Amino acid sequence: VLSAAPPLGQLIVGASVDGFGLQPTFLVVMIVFVVAAISISSSRTLRHL
């Protein structure tokens, strides 16, 4: 999964930029990163560090 994720992400983002434009695509990518960061930082395992 780790080796397949970057090329798949590039394909998805590239198709999204072609279909929707740069700003909407970056907005969605930013929201995904923020949600991922919040969920990772609120995990129980990291709270005990």
Contacts of 28 (CB under 8 A, 6+ apart): 16
* Domain residue ranges in the chain: 5-47
pLDDT at 29: 96
pLDDT at 1: 72
Model confidence over 1-49: pLDDT tens digits? 789 999 999 999 999 999 999 999 999 999 999 999 999 888 887 777 7
- Tell me how far apart the terminal alpha carbons of the chain are, to the nearest angstrom: 27
11 CA to centre of own chain:
13
Contacts of 40 (CB under 8 A, 6+ apart): 46
Contact between 27 and 34 (Cβ < 8 Å): no
* Global confidence as pTM: 0.76
Contact between 11 and 25 (Cβ < 8 Å): no
pLDDT at 48: 74
